[in-house]
Structure 1
Amino acid sequence: MSAAYPEDGPVEWPGRLMSAEVTEQPAVLRRILQDGEPRIREVAAVIAARKPRFALLAARGTSGHAALYGKYLLEIRRGLPCGLASMSTVTTYGARPDLTGVLFVAVSQWGGSPDLVASTWAAREAGAITVALTNNPDSSLAAVSEFHIDVLAGPERALPATKSYTASLLSLYLFVAALGGGERGDAHDDRPSLAPLPELAEEIVARRDEIRALASRYRFAERMIVTSRGYSYPTAQEAALKLMETCYLPALAFSGADMLHGPLAMVGDTSAVIAVVPDGKGGEALRPVLDRLRSRGADLFVIGTEREVRRASAGFVLPTEGVPERLQPILEILPLHLLTYELSRARGHDPDVPRAMAKTPESR
């Protein structure tokens, strides 16, 4: 695709909805910081006073990747043991574990997934402190939960969830930060790091012509691998999902650590690999993996620092200087949203309505 597409007006064209919703993300981040944070802090304060002993996160698909980010935050920043709920143990097998004093966070765009609603209700009956984090305050999930956090993304009409994903990440970040306690030396106000996020997101979205040129590189790719580590591993998973549902590309996401335990064997000089390389400990841990990928001749596309992009086959430099690693996933996914949109269009597809239609909005 060599020409830009109109963002406004009555003209209908494939991908119009996804394109507009990707572009809205800076405004959504600004709305959460201005209007959503007081409610998030209020909920977190009540929960912190009840001193949960453990946390469980429940979600599927895109929301599941946001929940995984929340898991990293809870474990690293709050020192709270945390797991991902297996909802079928409750909904299919009828298990009723004792969840007294457990923080149960259900993440869902629309909040209508029957198994998520049933699992959350069962958790509440079993003694859990239940929180629904959704883009729909009138949802069934919000109704069965003790607490609800609205991510304020606004209506999302394209089937691939984009703005609700970044909204969920920021809302989870604010929630975990407001819980207090945990990581030594991390009790300071994060406002200086949070305030620039909307402007940095605008800067990234404005570079869509750069992404369009990069997308043409993979127009005829037959499969892709996405890898990262730490806080950015959920970004790799979400990028792989978007490649599959909008471009119909077989895409596999691996932790950098897992790449070295078998999957590296399938990488050769015709393999396209996207590496999300955060500026921080996760990026440092990923460097040996990048060295191995380069040694195998992989076509390595890096999302990250200028240093790592220069060493790759292609890449996109993120404006993350001064942004803590734990906040970088909110920015990392933006060029990948644009990449999947542009690649889908270049391959002749409509990213607004993936042809499989296997995923419904209620399951997001």
Structure 2
Amino acid sequence: MSATSPAQESERPGRIMSGEMAEQPAMLRRVLDRGAPAIREVAAAVAARKPRFVLLTARGTSDNAALYAKYLLEIRRGLPCGLASMSTTTAYGAKPDLRDVLVVTVSQSGGSPDLVASTRAAREAGAITLAVTNNRDSPLSAVSEHHIDILAGPEKALPATKTYTASLLSLYLFVEGLAGGDGSAAEVLPERAAEILARGDEVRALAARYRFAERMVITSRGYGYPTAKEAALKLMETSYIPALSYSGADLLHGPLAMVDNISPVIAVVTDGRGGEALQPVLDRLRGRGADLFVVGPEAQVEAASAGFVLPTAGVAEELQPVLEILPLQMLAYEVTIARGQDPDAPRALAKVTETR
């Protein structure tokens, strides 16, 4: 590759998104070293209140992080969870009884008016409120009883990358902290993340397969399902490829009919029970001759049309989503560059989306 001047480097499309993706190993280490103690304190304070139910509130990328928290809370803590419909309070003025309910609002900026308004209403309705943001001075933090700073640092590219993985890790540490755990199983993540991000040439070659794709389907089950939804969002907002995300179970209930040998299917195969539950879906996809791209264990990648082997040895199933999204962020970036577009500045988007 020929050398580029500083001026050329500063003008290169996607340089901000690329730089922020590269920061993720250091960011994960920062959350583990600096953020974990404060997160454990918040978790202990919340646990002392003994919430009976959890409502998760978010939009966009943060909504996918909240869905990950839902799996964690239900599987690892046995707490029933729901994803809040904010318009019931902001548009319809509903006043639910939220006594003994934990309301967790996830937002990178903490500035969207509907998130702030619904959290304020939840607190007034008796809820225990927790904001998970990348801005401790945000309006959302101000109206919440508790706050977790995800410590991702400034994120300038419109597509969220490092704030997503920072949110996942922070939420994992919080859920572990509810039962007094220290989250030490996550110590492996920074090194594994660096290994994945070093494989950029591999992802670039894979992206060439999908430069002219007109549609993609992304599927997973269990802990991998939020990854499928986030990957679809990244592809849509950067490359403008319509990307439909489905739980593997839902894919079989109708949408499978649209799968053919032309439109690619990306399967996120978590190494564990989620991957086992997805196996019948993978078999059906192969039976239909799908162009199947797998992110997951080596054996699953070898049985697919293409894929990215995820280094999951020694990584707990519930932590794999922090790693699974990395090659898919890279794929979205590389496909967008290959299509002659700038992933730093998707059309019609703003960094802070002010929904009401």
Aligned to 1:214: 206
- Distance in 2, Cα, partners of 1:51 & 1:247: 44
Residues paired across the two proteins, number: 355
- Find the aligned partners of 1:363 and 1:329 in 2 and give their Cα distance: 28
TM-score by length of 2: 0.97
Pair 1:201-2:201 in alignment = no
Partner of 1:54: 53
SS of the residue aligned with 2:135?
coil
Match of 2:287 in 1: 295
Show CA shifts across 1:80-135 (max 9, x none).
01100000000000001010010000000000000000000000000000000000
Q: Secondary structure at the match of 1:351?
A: coil
Instruction: Provide the residue aligned with 1:356 in structure 2.
Output: 348
Which of these residues, 234, 252, 269, is aligned with residue 242 of structure 1? 234
| C-alpha contact (below 8 Å) 2:336/2:342 kept by paired residues | yes
Deviations 1:162-186 (A, max 9, x none): 0000000000000000001xxxxxx
Q: C-alpha distance in 1, partners of 2:255/2:92? A: 33
Residue 9 of structure 1: CA displacement?
A: 8.8
**Contact kept? 1:110, 1:362, Cα under 8 Å:** no
- Aligned equivalents of 1:65 and 1:207: distance in 2? 25
Report the alpha carbon displacement of residue 63 of structure 1 after superposing the two structures with TM. Answer: 0.2
- Ranges of 4+ aligned residues in structure 1 off by more than 3 Å: 2-10, 187-190
Kept in 1, the 8 Å contact 2:40–2:182? The answer is no
From 322, 325, 334, the equivalent of 2:317 is: 325
CA distance in 2, matches of 1:275, 1:201: 20
> Cα offset for 1:269?
1.3
Q: CA deviation at 1:8?
A: 10
**Distance in 2 between residues matched to 1:80 and 1:299, nearest whole Å:** 38
Aligned to 1:158: 157
Distance 2:329 2:136 in 1: 25
| Partner-residue secondary structure (3-state), 1:48 | helix
Superimposed CA distance per residue, residues 16-55 of structure 1 (whole angstroms, 9 cap, x where no aligned partner)? 1000000001111000000000000000101101100110
Q: Which residue of 1 aligns with 2:127?
A: 128
Q: Is the 8 A contact 1:7 1:20 kept in 2?
A: no
1:336 aligns with 2:322: no
Gapped runs of 5+ residues in structure 2? none
Give, in whole Å, the separation in 2 of the partners of 1:293 and 1:347. Answer: 27
Q: Distance in 1 between matches of 2:174 and 2:302?
A: 36
* Residue aligned with 1:328, SS: helix
Q: 1:292 is paired with a residue of what secondary structure?
A: helix
- SS of the residue aligned with 2:55? strand
Residue of structure 2 equivalent to 1:71: 70
What does residue range 91-130 of structure 1 map to in structure 2 within 5 Å?
Answer: 91-130=90-129
Could you tell me how far apart the structure 1 residues matched to 2:62 and 2:271 are?
Answer: 24
Query: What pairs up with 1:173-188 in 2 under 5 angstroms?
Result: 173-180=172-179
| SS class of match (2:85) | coil
Name the CA shift for 1:217/1:245 in 2 (closer, same or farther; >3 Å): same
Sequence identity of aligned pairs in percent? Answer: 71
Q: Tell me how far 1:5 sits from its aligned partner.
A: 8.2
Distance in 2 between residues matched to 1:161 and 1:227, nearest whole Å: 20
Q: What is the CA-CA distance between 1:11 and the residue it aligns to?
A: 2.5
Q: Give the root-mean-square deviation of aligned CA atoms.
A: 1.8
> Closer, same or farther in 2 for the Cα pair 1:174/1:314, shift >3 Å?
same
* Deviation, structure 1 residue 363: 5.1
Provide the residue aligned with 1:184 in structure 2.
none
